[in-house]
């Protein structure tokens, strides 16, 4: 029995473990004297602080183009080409960097006019050299802690917002999606109370059974979402599995459900491993049904199984048509498939979310890629998932 493991895949809609508030912060040091940079770095360096160093204003701006999440910037006032005041004005003039706290450092004498200009440029403090190490370290830690608190609050807000969204979608499902098949069952039951010919009874019973199966599928999906969110992932019951045999069974079912569509199955290499067979069947069924529903009808859907690697099996589901770029970053989130759709829902928008949860529970990853008018979902599964 294993639980969901962190996925090795990364960004751009690729499945990954839930984001957490990072504890590391960044501090930018700007001084044209190398010895001063070395001394400041030695003073502020710690296991949870990344030091960014620049010997000039232009070099500092280049660093800020890459690192906008800087907790604190220490700027030397007296620098050639661009002094600290000019650099501060440019930092404050950019939307990406105007939030960065600035502390000026100067070797000059105390001058109220210079101090006023520094604060006018956006500084939060003004330190004079030689700088007292204890004072600087104390002030810096305040801003480092503020950055961590800001990230923690932003993360909590994101989590609460997502929870509210999920709760709203649950209510929408209960109020709309489940009501439709339930109404069909109730209407069928009412008709069956009347005298009807046997063939009519069988037809109505089949419709009621179909509606009941649809409700059961919806409820199972909702339960999977609840299990994944409350338990940190789905539980997998792993055993030796022949993926080729499992895929053949699922492909036959999908072909029977979509007789008008072409579905190709290509296999190569060793396709055996230790997985949850039922859950992998769910992955294949969801991906293939998704391709049938959203893919271009005139182009075939293709399932490729690649077992050439010694420790990993790769499966790919490809169909015609491309997913809108705006949808890709949130493709694997629950209920997202329901947003912005004017067509009738054929599901709850949970299929890809559940697929990702199953793949991650096996220690694998899934990614979606669109190019040349085709969409491809790629799943990479280790042959032996690590127990969590």
| DSSP classification of residue 177 | I
Strand partners, 306: 268, 314
Per-residue pLDDT at 143: 92
CA nearest to 166, candidates 233, 228, 211, 217: 228
Per-residue pLDDT at 342: 40
State if pTM tops 0.75: no
| DSSP classification of residue 386 | P
- Asked if 10 contacts 55 with a C-beta cutoff of 8 angstroms, the reply is no
118 is written with which tokens?
A: 């520094």
136: number of Cβ within 10 Å: 18
Tell me the pairing of strands 72-76 and 102-106: parallel
Alpha carbons 326 and 340: distance in angstroms, whole number: 11
Per-residue pLDDT at 344: 44
Per-residue pLDDT at 376: 94
Strand partners, 367: 378
* pLDDT tens string 119-172: 777 678 888 888 888 989 999 999 999 999 998 898 888 878 877 766 766 666
Alpha carbons 76 and 57: distance in angstroms, whole number: 9
Alpha carbons 362 and 385: distance in angstroms, whole number: 5
Alpha carbons 207 and 218: distance in angstroms, whole number: 17
Per-residue pLDDT at 30: 94
Per-residue pLDDT at 228: 66
Q: Which residues does the chain have with pLDDT short of 70? A: 1-22, 108-118, 122, 165-166, 168-177, 180, 221, 227-233, 335-349, 386-388
Burial category of 355 from C-beta neighbours within 10 Å (exposed 0-12, middle 13-18, buried 19 and up): buried
């Amino acid at each position: 029995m294993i639980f969901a493991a962190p996925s090795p895949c990364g960004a751009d809609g690729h499945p990954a473990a839930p984001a957490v508030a990072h504890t590391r912060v960044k501090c930018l040091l700007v001084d044209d004297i190398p010895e001063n940079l070395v001394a400041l770095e030695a003073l502020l360096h710690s296991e949870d602080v990344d030091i960014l160093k620049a010997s000039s204003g232009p070099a500092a701006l280049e660093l800020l183009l890459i690192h906008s999440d800087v907790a604190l910037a220490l700027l030397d006032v007296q620098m050639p080409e661009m002094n600290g005041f000019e650099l501060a004005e440019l930092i404050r003039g950019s939307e990406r960097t105007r939030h960065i706290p600035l502390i000026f450092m100067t070797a000059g004498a105390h001058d109220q006019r210079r101090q006023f200009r520094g604060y006018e440029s956006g500084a939060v403090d003004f330190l004079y050299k030689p700088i007292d190490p204890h004072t600087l370290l104390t002030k810096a830690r305040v801003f480092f802690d503020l950055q961590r608190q800001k990230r923690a609050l932003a993360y909590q807000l994101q989590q609460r917002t997502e929870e509210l969204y999920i709760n709203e979608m649950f209510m929408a499902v209960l109020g709309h999606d489940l009501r439709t098949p339930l109404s069909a069952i109730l209407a069928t039951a009412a008709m069956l109370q009347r005298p009807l010919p046997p063939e009519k009874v069988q037809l109505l019973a089949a419709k009621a059974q179909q509606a009941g199966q649809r409700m059961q599928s919806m409820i199972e999906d909702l339960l999977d979402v609840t299990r994944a969110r409350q338990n940190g992932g789905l539980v997998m019951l792993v055993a030796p599995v022949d993926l080729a045999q499992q895929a053949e069974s699922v492909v036959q079912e999908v072909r029977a459900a979509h007789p008008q569509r072409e579905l190709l199955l290509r296999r190569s290499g060793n396709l055996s491993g230790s997985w949850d067979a039922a859950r992998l069947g769910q992955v294949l069924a969801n991906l293939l049904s998704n391709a049938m529903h959203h893919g271009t009808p005139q182009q075939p859907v293709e399932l490729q199984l690649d077992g050439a690697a010694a420790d990993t099996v790769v499966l790919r589901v490809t169909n015609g048509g491309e997913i809108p770029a705006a949808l890709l970053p949130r493709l694997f989130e629950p209920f997202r498939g329901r947003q912005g759709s004017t067509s009738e829902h054929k599901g709850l928008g949970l299929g890809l979310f559940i697929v990702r949860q199953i793949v991650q529970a096996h220690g694998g990853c899934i990614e979606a890629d669109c190019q040349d008018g085709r969409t491809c979902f790629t799943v990479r599964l280790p042959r032996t998932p690590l127990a969590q």
